[in-house]
């Protein structure tokens, strides 16, 4: 098990709840399969965010159950069969909410962190 | 909708496609095929875990998991039918016993009494020196009723003559006299007609009667126009005004649910209304809302202080005793039932320990299975849940069978000793009992399932899968040994409890009641109305005629008419002043004695032994000198160190106005009779007993006796008490068809009833202790067998190295003995504390009786050692070659 953890040591574990936001945001650009989603998140975060498959697939299936995304089997550009996920209109609304919540949160945290002690 | 299988394969395919794409990307990046595949798979992680976690997101997933666990659990169960059968049967027995006991506790103690204001209803007694629960005189009752500030209402009641004539055959039924407030306090409404008015509850008012629904149906064929009809009760014509519902049921001191109820104050005998006449009258009362029994007692102290001033001669020491109705009905049986419920919980606990032990043993053999499941992606929580589901499955099946057994067990338990448990008719498997059974089953499953489940789930995948030896066993065997010692201790406590109860019952049965109840029956007779109104001489002649009629019946050895006190059934007291004792200032300060009015042959019928002087004989009749025979208790207390023969005892005669003292000469001393029952007699303060000749009863008493007296008969050989009575009865009726001959009792049954509580307790405790012994023995057998199985290899090595077979035997036996002795030691200590709870039930034996302790421990050790011997012998026969080749 130890080589695996070495490989991940420079990556940040995702905050609880942010994975949903990232998945929905990724799907804004069009339908995508699970592998594709994890690749996009990794690439767009500059290799910092690693989505664990043990979190990704449960999250995809949960979002689908909540009717925020829907899925269908399609062929990829490389002619491979893959299950593609796509935002529903409810999912788009949800993304808006999640995003504004995230902004509020990061503003709040940012404000706290910006508040340094005054120099004497 | 997709089926579960479709969804599963879809998910599997989705993950495969993920892996394919990842592999392809790596190939394009220039990795070799095996390398690409290896990296992609490793990056993905544990496929099983991902699938498992994803599946839990699906709708209805938790139900699916439960179903899956259940199916799996069921399969596991079927794979080891031996274990499952033992576990389920153990649980079924344990749960059945617990449900049975709880349904008794629930029906008798927990359920509210069937009266609307039952928690405010109390019983009232006049507290006297010899009788804390003594009877109240009617004038005192009326003053209590008028002067108190604590009660909404108060009602008095007493026995009544229940001979009915005028409708169908003459017969004698149960009857009570009650005040008009009686039924309103209990909230009992008539099914037809009305109850008494306060005006009817006065001397000289229009004679009325209430009849029971049962009598209405039986005697009047449920005639809808029964109201207004007339019935002759105790020779007096009365108008039926109402019908009391069959559901009304009450059994308290001086009151039994009856067939007839007449107003208390419609009493033709004026002596009843004297302030010093205690005619077996008690009262019930309804506390005002918010008033406690203690406050009411304080209030009554004030009332009684006033009455003591007003009537110093009879009320100098007047006290009221107040006791909640429920306490009166179930107070005696309460500790017995709680003790039995506690005992039966022990039995289930022992059963659970056994199953836990079996599961622990099995968890060793299932370690690989668990390790594989963890490796395949099951989390620890998932495994604990799986194992607990298996335990629950066992418990639910056990509980279900247990419930069925309990239905039968409850009936059996009650049939065993029906009279000793009040409110027995209210015992049923209601929702509370069902809830109890469910809770007990789940608790049992947690109890025996949790420790093994936690242990099993904490497997180390790597080492377990690699490891083929069984070296890891040591830690678990310590836990199992502890559990076995624990169940031995619990079994010992139960066995000691049962042992003490058996010793108690043995002691009580061996106690001489002072008379010989075998082959004795007694029954009541009432003379027909015309004869009861004859002059006393004619009534006495009738008594003599009945005596000689019975005497001549073949099979009758001796016979005696009797009134007054009846041993172990009802008491009757007289106030007296013994020669040589100081004359008390107030009448209520004089001592009392039990009084038995009997014929000469009574002492033969009952086989009461003469100690000094002579018995009552045929010359002691109405106009001869008044004589009496006292018992040794009377002699010791009131004539200490003297010869009582020839002394005079003066008895207070309430019938004469003004009251007089009747001088009675003591002519003999006889042995003491257990008036209050085998288990109760020595606790009572009233120990003095006096016998007077039946024919010397005063004239008013003779007139009363015509309406109800009893006859004691001894048969020559042991015939059935019932058929013997029927022979006598038909003979008497052949001579006088108008006689009422009823209420026959076998004296032996009367004596048996006096220790019914102990017999009930000993029966159930015995059964429970037997279960406990069996389960504990099975437990130690199981653990030792398992240990031997685990150590076969070690034993083989030892024997190959030269250990003798007897060494092996000793080694295994000493393992068992160590658990046993630890258990017995713990059990002794626990029993010292716990048996004290039994104290109120024990007689002739101390709660820490060393004989019982040692004997019971010996029995337990013998049985348990036998259980150890079987696996030990198996160990001894291990073939070293086979054992070593095994691995």
* Predicted confidence (pLDDT) per residue in B279-299, tens digit: 889 999 999 999 999 999 999
Closest-CA residue of chain A to B57: A62
- Yes or no, beta carbons of A58 and B54 under 8 Å apart: yes
Across the interface, of B21, B45, B57, the residue whose CB is closest to A61 is B57
Residue window 27-86, chain B: list those with CB within 8 Å of chain A: 42, 44-46, 49-51, 53-54, 56-59
Q: Establish if A119 belongs to a structural domain.
A: no
* Residue B59: band (very low, low, confident or very high) from pLDDT cuts 50, 70, 90: low
Q: What is the pLDDT of residues B499-548, one digit of tens each?
A: 998 898 888 888 889 999 999 999 999 888 788 889 999 999 999 999 99
Checking if the pLDDT of A119 tops 60, the result is: no
- Residues B55 and B63: their CA atoms lie apart, in Å, by 12
Q: Min CA distance, B8 vs chain A (Å)?
A: 12
- Residues B420 and B755: their CA atoms lie apart, in Å, by 9
Give the residue numbers spanning the domain of A79. 2-114
What is the per-residue pLDDT for A3?
39
Distance (Å) of CA B417 to CA B40, B353, B518, B749, B753: 77, 32, 20, 12, 9
- B6 touches A: beta carbon within 8 Å: no
- Yes or no, beta carbons of B57 and A81 under 8 Å apart: no
Across the interface, of A54, A59, A81, the residue whose CB is closest to B45 is A54
Across the interface, of A34, A52, A65, the residue whose CB is closest to B57 is A65
The CATH code of the domain that includes A8 is 1.10.10.10
Checking if the pLDDT of B390 tops 80, the result is: yes
- B14 touches A: beta carbon within 8 Å: yes
Closest-CA residue of chain B to A54: B50
- Residues B620 and B695: their CA atoms lie apart, in Å, by 8
Residue among B449, B462, B456 at smallest CA distance from B398: B449
CB contacts of A33 in chain B (<8 Å) are 14, 17-18, 21
Residue among B643, B639, B638, B631 at smallest CA distance from B671: B631
What is the per-residue pLDDT for A9?
42
From chain A, which residues contact B within 8 Å (Cβ)?
4, 33-36, 52-55, 57-62, 65, 76, 78, 80-83
Out of B370-379, B717-726, B807-816, the most confident range is B717-726
Across the interface, of B17, B51, B58, the residue whose CB is closest to A82 is B17
Checking if the pLDDT of B554 tops 90, the result is: yes
CB contacts of B10 in chain A (<8 Å) are 83
Checking if the pLDDT of B868 tops 70, the result is: yes
* Residue B482: band (very low, low, confident or very high) from pLDDT cuts 50, 70, 90: confident
* Residue B462: band (very low, low, confident or very high) from pLDDT cuts 50, 70, 90: low
Q: In terms of DSSP H, where are the helices of B511-612?
A: 529-532, 536-552, 602-606
Q: What is the mean pLDDT of residues B365-391?
A: 77
CB contacts of A67 in chain B (<8 Å) are none
Distance (Å) of CA B31 to CA A39, B16, B34, B38: 18, 19, 8, 10
Q: Min CA distance, A104 vs chain B (Å)?
A: 29
Mean pLDDT score across all residues of chain B: 87
Distance (Å) of CA B873 to CA B354, B532, B866: 22, 82, 11
Q: What is the mean pLDDT of residues B628-651?
A: 94
Q: How many CB pairs lie under 8 A apart between chains A and B?
A: 63
* Residue B241: band (very low, low, confident or very high) from pLDDT cuts 50, 70, 90: very high
Across the interface, of A54, A65, A82, the residue whose CB is closest to B49 is A54
Q: What is the pLDDT of residues B175-228, one digit of tens each?
A: 999 999 999 999 999 999 999 999 999 998 999 999 999 999 999 999 999 999
Residues 6 or more apart whose CB falls under 8 angstroms from that of B581 comprise: B591, B638
Share of chain B above pLDDT 90, in %: 41
What is the per-residue pLDDT for B213?
96
What is the per-residue pLDDT for B472?
43
CB contacts of A76 in chain B (<8 Å) are 21
Q: Establish if A120 belongs to a structural domain.
A: no
Q: What is the pLDDT of residues B654-709, one digit of tens each?
A: 777 677 899 999 999 999 999 988 888 877 888 899 999 999 998 888 988 888 89
What is the per-residue pLDDT for A7?
41
What is the per-residue pLDDT for B303?
94
Q: Min CA distance, A85 vs chain B (Å)?
A: 11
Q: Which of B177-191, B623-637, B718-732, B749-763 has the lowest mean pLDDT?
A: B749-763
What is the per-residue pLDDT for B476?
52
Q: What is the mean pLDDT of residues B774-799?
A: 82
Q: What is the mean pLDDT of residues B616-634?
A: 94
* Residue A4: band (very low, low, confident or very high) from pLDDT cuts 50, 70, 90: very low
Across the interface, of A4, A61, A83, the residue whose CB is closest to B17 is A83
Checking if the pLDDT of B169 tops 80, the result is: no
Checking if the pLDDT of A15 tops 50, the result is: yes
Q: Establish if A10 belongs to a structural domain.
A: yes
Q: Which of B270-274, B311-315, B882-886 has the lowest mean pLDDT?
A: B882-886
Give the sign of the dihedral formed by CA B2, CA B8, CA B11, CA B13.
Answer: negative
Burial annotation B557-586 (CB, 10 A radius, 16+ → b, else e): ebbbbbbbbbbbeebebbbbbbbeeeeeee
* B154: helix, strand or coil: strand
Q: Report how many domains make up chain A.
A: 1
Q: Establish if A50 belongs to a structural domain.
A: yes
Q: Min CA distance, A115 vs chain B (Å)?
A: 40
* Residue B242: band (very low, low, confident or very high) from pLDDT cuts 50, 70, 90: very high
Q: Min CA distance, B463 vs chain A (Å)?
A: 15
* Residue A80: band (very low, low, confident or very high) from pLDDT cuts 50, 70, 90: confident
Q: Establish if A35 belongs to a structural domain.
A: yes
Residue among B375, B494, B489, B376 at smallest CA distance from B761: B494
Q: Min CA distance, A87 vs chain B (Å)?
A: 18
CB contacts of A59 in chain B (<8 Å) are 57
- Yes or no, beta carbons of A81 and B13 under 8 Å apart: yes
Checking if the pLDDT of B860 tops 50, the result is: yes
What is the per-residue pLDDT for A2?
37
Q: Which of B55-64, B145-154, B396-405, B791-800 has the lowest mean pLDDT?
A: B55-64
Checking if the pLDDT of B124 tops 90, the result is: yes
Checking if the pLDDT of B561 tops 90, the result is: yes
What is the per-residue pLDDT for B208?
95
- Yes or no, beta carbons of B21 and A80 under 8 Å apart: yes
Mutate which: B2, B53, B55, vs A, most A CBs within 10 A: B53
> DSSP letters along B397-422, please?
HHHHHHHHHHHHHHHHHHHHSGGGST
Checking if the pLDDT of B321 tops 70, the result is: yes
What is the per-residue pLDDT for B161?
76
Q: What is the mean pLDDT of residues A96-119?
A: 83
- Contact call for residues B240 and B226 (beta carbons, < 8 A): yes
What is the per-residue pLDDT for B474?
46
Q: What is the pLDDT of residues B405-440, one digit of tens each?
A: 998 888 887 777 656 678 887 788 888 888 998 898
CB contacts of A61 in chain B (<8 Å) are 11, 54, 57-58
Number of helices (H) and strands (E), helices first, in chain A? 5, 3
């Amino acid at each position: 098990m130890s080589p695996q953890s070495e490989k991940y040591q420079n990556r940040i574990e995702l905050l609880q709840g942010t994975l949903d936001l990232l998945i929905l945001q990724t799907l804004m650009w069009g339908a995508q399969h699970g592998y594709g989603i994890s690749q996009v998140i990794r690439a767009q975060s500059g290799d910092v965010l690693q989505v664990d498959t043990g979190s990704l697939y449960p999250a995809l299936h949960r979002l689908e159950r909540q009717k925020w995304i829907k899925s269908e089997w399609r062929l990829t550009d490389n002619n491979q069969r893959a299950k593609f996920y796509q935002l529903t209109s409810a999912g788009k609304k949800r993304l808006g909410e999640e995003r504004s919540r995230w902004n509020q949160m990061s503003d709040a945290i940012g404000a706290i962190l910006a508040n340094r002690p005054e120099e004497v | 909708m997709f089926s579960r299988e479709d969804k599963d394969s879809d998910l599997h395919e989705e993950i495969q496609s993920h892996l394919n794409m990842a592999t392809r990307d790596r190939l394009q990046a220039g990795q070799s095929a095996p390398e690409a595949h290896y990296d992609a798979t490793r990056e993905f992680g544990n496929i099983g875990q991902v699938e498992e976690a994803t599946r839990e997101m699906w709708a209805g997933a938790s139900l699916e998991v439960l179903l899956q666990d259940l199916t799996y659990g069921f399969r596991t169960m079927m794979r080891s039918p031996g274990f499952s059968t033992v576990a389920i049967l153990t649980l079924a027995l344990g749960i059945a016993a617990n449900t049975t006991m709880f349904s008794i506790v629930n029906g008798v103690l927990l359920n509210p009494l069937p009266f609307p204001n039952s928690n405010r209803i109390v019983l009232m007694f006049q507290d006297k020196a010899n009788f804390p629960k003594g009877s109240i005189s009617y004038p005192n009752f009326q003053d209590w009723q008028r002067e108190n500030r604590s009660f909404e209402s108060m009602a008095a009641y007493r026995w009544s003559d229940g001979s009915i004539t005028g409708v169908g055959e003459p017969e004698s039924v149960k009857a009570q006299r009650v005040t008009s407030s009686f039924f309103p306090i209990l909230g009992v409404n008539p099914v037809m007609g009305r109850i008494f008015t306060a005006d009817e509850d006065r001397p000289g008012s229009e004679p009325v009667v209430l009849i029971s629904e049962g009598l209405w149906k039986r005697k009047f064929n449920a005639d809808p126009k029964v109201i207004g009809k007339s019935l002759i009760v105790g020779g007096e014509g009365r108008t039926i005004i109402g019908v009391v519902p069959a559901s009304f049921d009450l059994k308290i001191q001086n009151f039994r649910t009856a067939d007839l109820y007449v107003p208390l104050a419609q009493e033709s005998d004026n002596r009843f209304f004297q302030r010093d006449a205690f005619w077996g009258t008690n009262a019930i009362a309804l506390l005002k809302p918010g008033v406690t029994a203690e406050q009411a007692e304080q209030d009554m102290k004030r009332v009684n202080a006033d009455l003591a001033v007003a009537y110093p001669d009879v009320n100098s020491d007047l006290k009221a005793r107040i006791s909640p109705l429920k306490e009166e009905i179930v107070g005696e049986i309460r500790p017995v039932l709680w003790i039995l419920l506690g005992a039966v919980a022990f039995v289930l606990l022992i059963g659970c320990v056994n199953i836990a032990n079996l599961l622990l043993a099995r968890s060793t053999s299932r370690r690989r299975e668990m390790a594989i499941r963890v490796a395949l992606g099951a989390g620890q929580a998932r495994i604990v849940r799986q194992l607990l589901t298996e335990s629950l499955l066992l418990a639910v099946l056990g509980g279900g069978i247990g419930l069925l057994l309990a239905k039968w067990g409850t009936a059996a338990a009650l049939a065993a000793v029906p009279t000793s448990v009040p409110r027995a008719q209210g015992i049923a498997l209601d929702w509370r009992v069902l809830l109890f059974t469910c809770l007990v089953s789940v608790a049992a499953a947690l109890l025996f399932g949790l420790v093994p489940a936690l242990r099993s789930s904490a497997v180390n995948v790597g080492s377990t899968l690699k490891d083929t030896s069984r070296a890891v066993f040591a830690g678990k065997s310590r836990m199992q040994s502890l559990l076995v010692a624990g169940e031995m201790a619990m079994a010992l406590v139960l066995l000691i409890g049962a042992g003490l109860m058996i010793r108690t019952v043995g002691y009580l049965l061996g106690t001489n009641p002072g008379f010989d109840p075998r082959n004795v029956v007694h029954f009541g007779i009432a003379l027909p109305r015309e004869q009861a109104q004859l002059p006393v001489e004619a009534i006495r002649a009738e008594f003599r005629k009945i005596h000689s009629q019975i005497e001549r019946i073949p099979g009758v050895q001796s016979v005696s008419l009797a009134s007054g006190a009846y041993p172990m059934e009802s008491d009757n007291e007289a106030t007296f002043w013994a020669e040589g004792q100081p004359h008390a200032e107030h009448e209520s300060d004089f001592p009392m004695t039990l009084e038995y009015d009997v014929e000469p042959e009574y002492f033969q019928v009952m086989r009461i032994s003469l100690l000094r002087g002579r018995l009552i004989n045929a010359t002691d009749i109405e106009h001869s000198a008044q004589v009496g025979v006292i018992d040794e208790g009377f002699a010791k207390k009131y004539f200490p160190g003297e010869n009582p023969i020839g002394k005079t005892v003066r008895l207070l005669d309430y019938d004469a106005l003004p009251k007089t003292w009747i001088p009675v000469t003591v002519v003999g001393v006889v042995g003491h009779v257990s008036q209050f029952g085998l288990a109760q007699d020595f606790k009572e303060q009233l120990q003095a007993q006096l016998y007077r000749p039946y024919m010397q009863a005063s004239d008013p008493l003779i007139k009363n006796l015509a309406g109800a007296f009893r006859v004691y008969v001894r048969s020559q050989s042991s015939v059935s008490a019932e058929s013997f009575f029927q022979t006598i009865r038909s003979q008497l009726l052949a001579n006088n068809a108008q006689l009422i001959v009823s209420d026959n009792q076998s004296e032996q049954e009367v004596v048996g009833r006096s220790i019914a509580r102990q017999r009930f307790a000993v029966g159930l405790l015995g059964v429970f202790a037997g279960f406990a012994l069996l389960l504990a023995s099975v437990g130690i057998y199981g653990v030792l067998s398992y240990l031997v199985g685990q150590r076969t290899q070690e034993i083989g090595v030892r024997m190959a190295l030269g250990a003798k077979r007897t060494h092996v035997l000793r080694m295994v036996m000493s393992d068992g003995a160590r658990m046993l002795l630890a258990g017995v030691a713990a059990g002794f200590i626990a029993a010292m504390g716990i048996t004290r709870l039994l104290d109120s039930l024990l007689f002739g034996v101390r709660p820490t009786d060393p004989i019982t302790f040692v004997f019971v421990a010996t029995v337990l050790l013998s049985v348990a050692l036998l259980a150890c011997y079987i696996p030990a012998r198996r160990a001894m026969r291990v073939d070293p070659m086979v054992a070593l080749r095994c691995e």
